[in-house]
Structure 1
Amino acid sequence: MDTSQGRWSRRALWLSVVVLAATALWAVSTADGPVALRVDGSGAVTRVGSVWTLVGVLGGGGGALAATFLSAHRFLPRVPARLINLPSAEAHAFWTAPENRTELHRLLAEDLEWIGTATVVLLSWLMAVCVTTEKSVALWALVVPVVAYTIAVLGYSVQLMRGGRYRPRS
């Protein structure tokens, strides 16, 4: 059982939490008035408010997500086998067998940590953009990161489903 991948995924998630906390501290210390809370499809700021609201929503939401992803290794053993979705019936039978559940939990926790890392980094970016925006946002500053995040998470998910990570082992 190779746990080096798990160590990297956990480190990356903790690093993203540090980035989120640093972004929140920066936001609170540098915002000198209302910040953007909502931006429309053209990039125009349509709602402003307190930096504390922004930090509470994006920072608090990111922190809660990170805590959930970081605790995956604790709650996965409590998930009934019938609720675990794997790429095939054969993979499900193999991975949910009692002798393979520990390894399955480790793999799933790692995957959740990588997805959590990407999510927390995106929230940090969005917080920084909202703090530095006055009347409008250059659309690329929102669209490019969100599209990159979506492509990365979807690509990672497809790779997990089509790749060999969850194939039954002999």
Structure 2
Amino acid sequence: MTALATFETGQAVDPQAFRVAMKQVPTPVAIVTAMSEEGPLGMTVGSFTSVSLSPALVTFFVDVSSTTWPRLKSSPSFTINILGHDKGELCRAFSRRGADRFDGVDWSLNEHGNPSLADASVTLDCTVYSTLVLGDHIQLVGEVQGFKVHHEGMPLVFFNGSFLDLRERG
């Protein structure tokens, strides 16, 4: 078997080779939203997971070069919008740089004062529990203050550079 990328002990880790390796790990896709003085903010994250049941904690990671993060981090709360398998275009809309990410998106302010996306499967309203700079990313841990399951179904999952349709897997 031929390896697509390798790393041997004692070598420096090549970021691109490491990216090839990590593309083999599926990740759920979510959109983090908050309100700022300028209006609604939102960004796609592909590293969302739960951390703890008691207290209810979740986490995601943000690239330190994110232009949305400096505005989002000043918000006392945020909403995580978990996407269903058929929401790839919505994910892409919130990944664009320099565009109005909310243009054409159905959303409303929730009781915590943050944008909730109408097409989200689940929304989690959170406050900042902790942040930590880890390499070229910032880990944000949020404490869940409330949540709503809008509908059940297969999640939007990113794998090997594209969206993975879990419905095909049975």
Q: TM-score, normalised by structure 1?
A: 0.23
Larger Rg: 1
RCO higher in 1 or 2 (8 Å CA, sep ≥ 6)? 1
Structure (1 or 2) with the greater helix fraction: 1
